[in-house]
């Protein structure tokens, strides 16, 4: 089982007040102390669109010397990749969308235009020794187009596999999924992906994040993208709330005697720090219960 904590990127990207680089560095360090090795540290996006990520280079410079860190950076286009590859990275996360409208709102390209750039990225990244993940946003529902067919998502999974993606991410960007949906779609995604690792990225907008994660686990998913304290939200998805809290899912697995390899108490410390950086009410539940005991 593998947890990819996205709190330094997805968790903070929507914050209106600029957070000092050293506070983001501290968050990464606390996650490492809790045993989280793979962390989506930042995003190389246009600073006018996502001001919080304007210090992407400085954040990576601050954390890439940390031992055992597998640093991931999100890149929305080839220009972002050119900036990202100047740093020590394990992987870049390339985001597409399952719907045309969300892709235009999020990236400013059609799905096909975006995918052509991804094909170029894979070739270059292999030369640079950086792994690539192809993530599919709004895989279970879109704030602009409503329901998303499984066929739309699976078609992109097939294309990403053929293009040479080394990991595939399926995202419930607006937290609309239900466990039965997750089981159906993720089972098909795993069948198509074959040997390629598959992750699920869940938002907890409607309180079903943990149930959806367990549904994914039941069909074979072993990589979970979460954020300590449940902070986060997408600037381009109206109404989207925070991510599934890392500590909530770890608590669930530990109660079921499923080993995550993470230190729960230290994870709570990371969650406390993440919550202190957010102006919103974090969605994580277990942190509040444990702190009262």
**Which residues have C-beta within 8 Å of that of residue 152, sequence separation ≥ 6?**
98, 99
Catalytic residue among 59, 182, 227, 234: 234
133 an active-site residue? no
H or E element in which residue 127 lies:
helix 111-128
Nearest to 37 by CA among 272, 261, 275, 199: 261
Give the integer Cα–Cα distance in Å for 177 and 208.
Answer: 8
Nearest to 21 by CA among 63, 50, 49: 63
Give the integer Cα–Cα distance in Å for 133 and 93.
Answer: 5
Give the integer Cα–Cα distance in Å for 221 and 48.
Answer: 36
Residues with catalytic function: 234
């Amino acid at each position: 089982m593998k947890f990819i904590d996205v709190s330094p990127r997805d968790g903070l990207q929507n914050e209106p007040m600029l957070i000092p680089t050293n506070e983001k560095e501290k968050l990464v360090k606390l996650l490492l102390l809790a045993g989280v090795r793979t962390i989506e540290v930042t995003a190389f996006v246009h600073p006018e669109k996502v001001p919080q990520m304007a210090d992407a280079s400085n954040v990576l410079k601050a954390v890439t010397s940390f031992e055992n860190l597998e640093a991931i950076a999100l890149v929305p286009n080839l220009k972002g990749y050119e900036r990202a590859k100047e740093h020590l990275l394990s992987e870049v996360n390339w985001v597409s969308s399952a719907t045309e409208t969300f892709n235009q709102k999020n990236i400013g390209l059609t799905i096909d235009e975006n995918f052509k750039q991804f094909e170029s990225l894979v070739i270059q990244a292999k030369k640079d020794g950086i792994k690539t993940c192809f993530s599919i946003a709004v895989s279970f529902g879109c704030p602009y187009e409503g329901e998303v067919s499984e066929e739309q998502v699976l078609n992109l999974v097939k294309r990403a596999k053929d293009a040479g993606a080394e990991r595939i991410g399926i995202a419930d960007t607006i937290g609309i999924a239900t466990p039965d949906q997750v089981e159906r779609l993720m089972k098909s995604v795993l069948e198509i992906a074959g040997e390629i690792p598959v992750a699920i990225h869940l938002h907890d907008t409607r309180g079903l994040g943990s149930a959806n994660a367990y549904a994914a686990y039941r069909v074979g998913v072993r990589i979970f993208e979460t954020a300590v304290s449940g902070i986060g939200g997408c600037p381009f998805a109206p109404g989207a709330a925070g991510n599934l809290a890392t500590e909530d899912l770890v608590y669930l697995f530990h109660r079921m005697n499923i080993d995550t390899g993470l230190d729960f108490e230290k994870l709570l410390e990371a969650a406390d720090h993440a919550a202190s950086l957010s102006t919103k009410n974090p969605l994580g539940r277990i942190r509040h219960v444990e702190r009262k005991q």
